[in-house]
A and B are shown apart, each in its own frame.
Chain A
Amino acid sequence: MAEVLVFVDHVDGAVRKPTLELLTLARRIGEPVAVALGAGAENTAAALAEHGAVKVLTHDASEYADYLVVPKVDALQAAVESVSPAAVLVPSSAEGKEIAARLALRIGSGIITDATDLEAGDEGPVATQSVFAASFTTKSRVSKGTPVITVKPNSAAVEAAPAAGAVESLAVTFSAQATGTKVTGRTPRESTGRPELTEAAIVVSGGRGVNGAENFALIESLADSLGAAVGASRAAVDAGWYPHTNQVGQTGKSVSPQLYIANGISGAIQHRAGMQTSKTIVAVNKDAEAPIFDLVDYGVVGDLFDVVPQLTEEINTRKG
């Protein structure tokens, strides 16, 4: 069976969930071979093997942390040359898309970004994309070269499928471009202890209606009662009430959780672009005419300062 390269997103050896989803999708089109780079790369092997990786190609060098993007492209290209895969799958993070694009160009292939599903087809893998603020669904293929496809988080349910996961070290020669962009400083983001926004099963968001940074505590309490991630509209982010990393929408994150709860958010097209594919959508808004109500499975027309605390309390009571 043809091999399919999967680029591993990990933090010091801890594999992030979108990579496990990629392994699940990769098995539909071939045998997954994982590529893990940087500090802790070898520690990824057990998790990758458990989810179907027949082989794990690893390489560590200081270049991966000290320079932007290109060292990882060099390594992935080396992996493509050693494996001759049927396709290359990369998680659709901002960096993942840049790596995938440069790789595609180098190996003379096309690229599809932000796939939400993947299946085998007669002419190679067929990718589903959700476009124009999720108002259309397209099916596309890479028609030249080895398909390079980036896949959004939450595109598949992770399935365990134990495989050999034999670790092999990858030989990488860095290109002249590898050291072009220096990373001169790095401030790690502090963990909130809440789930990652793009990976969470439930997202609770606040918008301009939350009316102040201090009031976001209400949104956080509701999120914590459900074990959810916290999102925000651009209006709330621009007002400085919540960090930009939590913005949901076209220029923020796109999320596709089982449940999305929008509080004090009108539902502008650019916000919808980032949450419209959520399975169940709930909104609390005091304006019955707010466009967000066109999307909801359940909506409460009311003041969020009344509804949200009551909801949180009720959830906490029911959970006992």
Chain B
Amino acid sequence: MSLRIVVTVKYVPDATGDRHFADDLTVDRDDVDGLLSELDEYAVEQALQISEGSDDDVEITVLTVGPEDAKDALRKALSMGADKAIHVEDDDLHGTDAIGTSLVLAKAIEKAGYDLVISGLASTDGTMGVVPALLAERLGVPQVTLLSEVSVEDGTVKGRRDGDAASEQLEASLPAVVSVTDQSGEARYPSFKGIMAAKKKPVESWDLSDLDLEAEEVGLEGAWTAVDSATERPARTAGTIVKDEGEGGKQLAEFLAGQKFI
């Protein structure tokens, strides 16, 4: 038996950098370093663990839709241990929204062939947390999402979803789309050997025509949503800061009382 896993990975601007918008109100990628969205490292990790714990022949493909630099995210995932990578890159993709991104990803996943798709719970830039559900809808397969624990056996995926009201055990037959949370287990660091090996692993590049998609279906033009304005939040005005010299708790209570919280 063989198990084909496709892991979706997003290339995002570093959250600790000075993130801002370009003139067309898309993310400015020139001024901030990009990296593999940390939450997708957990998806790569779970794919590797499923592979390591399986008697099947498992192949892990990492897939990204993004600009040229997004290759860095693929390299990182390959150096963690994924087998190959697919980069969907096309100038017409600039400004694609969630509905459009899911269209491109679904086409690429179908073309690549899959038994299991694994995503992160949310990207660290758009942070919508909707792409895995959209992929399940488009592919017509079960969504087994937001898992803090995941296992695959005999064509069935099982997992634990920790919600607000309850913790649920879920189960579905493959093929399926899974997303994993940052509670699923620390992601490994690439080893030196892994980094060297990654340089030799295949990275395929596909454009819109490879996926039978038209420019009008994606990008800023094709988007289902429009951003009209983006304004920087004014810095908070400097607050009062006191040093505790024995009365810090009482002083704070005085402040809270003044603000009518007590």
* CB-based contact A109/B224 at 8 Å: yes
- CB pair B171–A110 under 8 Å, yes or no, is no
Q: Least Cβ distance of A252 to chain B in Å?
A: 9
Q: Are A311 and B252 in contact (CB under 8 A)?
A: yes
- Judge whether B236 is part of the interface by a CB distance below 8 angstroms: yes
Q: Which residues of B80-99 are within 8 A (CB) of A? A: 97-99
Q: Specify which chain B residues have a CB less than 8 angstroms from the CB of A269 in the assembled complex.
A: 15-16
> Is residue B249 within 8 Å, beta carbon to beta carbon, of the partner chain?
yes
Docked pose: A102 CA to B225 CA in angstroms: 15
Pair B226/A140 contact, Cβ less than 8 Å: yes
8 Å CB interface, A249-279 against B: 250-251, 258-259, 269-270, 273, 276
> Quick one: which of B240-260 are within 8 Å of A by CB?
240-244, 246-253, 255-257, 259
- Secondary structure class of chain A's binding surface, majority of residues: mixed
Contacts across chains A and B counted by CB atoms under 8 Å: 265
Residues of B within 8 Å of A145, CB to CB, are: 224
Docked complex Cα distance between A318 and B252 (Å): 13
Which residues of chain A are within 8 angstroms of B129 by Cβ–Cβ distance? 94, 97-98, 113
B143 touches A98 (CB 8 A): yes
Q: Which of A19-27, A47-55, A80-88, A298-306 contacts B (4 or more CB under 8 A)?
A: A298-306
Any A CB within 8 A of the CB of B59? no
Query: Nearest-CB distance from A222 to chain B (Å)?
Result: 10
A183 in the interface (beta carbon within 8 A)? yes
In the complex, A173 Cα to B250 Cα: how many Å?
61
CB distance from B140 to the nearest CB of A (A): 7
Q: Which residues of B contact A131 (CB under 8 A)?
A: 127, 230
Residues of B with C-beta under 8 A to A314 = 249-250, 253
Range for the number of chain B residues in contact with chain A: 35 or more
Residues in chain B near residue A259, CB distance under 8 A: 256, 259, 261
Mostly helix, strand, loop or mixed at chain B's interface?
A: mixed
* Interchain CB contact under 8 A, A301 and B261: no
Q: Which of B154-200 contact A (CB under 8 A)?
A: 158, 161-173, 176, 181-183
A68 touches B252 (CB 8 A): no
CA distance A134 to B181 in the complex (A): 22
Q: Is the CB of B262 within 8 A of A319?
A: yes
Q: Which residue from B132, B224, B240 sits with its C-beta under 8 Å from A299?
A: B240
Contact B252 A303 (CB under 8 A): no
Q: List 29 A-B contacts (CB under 8 A).
A: A68-B143, A68-B144, A68-B168, A70-B143, A98-B133, A101-B130, A104-B99, A109-B224, A130-B233, A131-B230, A132-B19, A132-B20, A138-B230, A143-B223, A177-B142, A180-B142, A180-B143, A181-B142, A244-B148, A250-B127, A273-B15, A280-B259, A288-B243, A293-B239, A297-B236, A298-B239, A311-B253, A318-B257, A318-B262
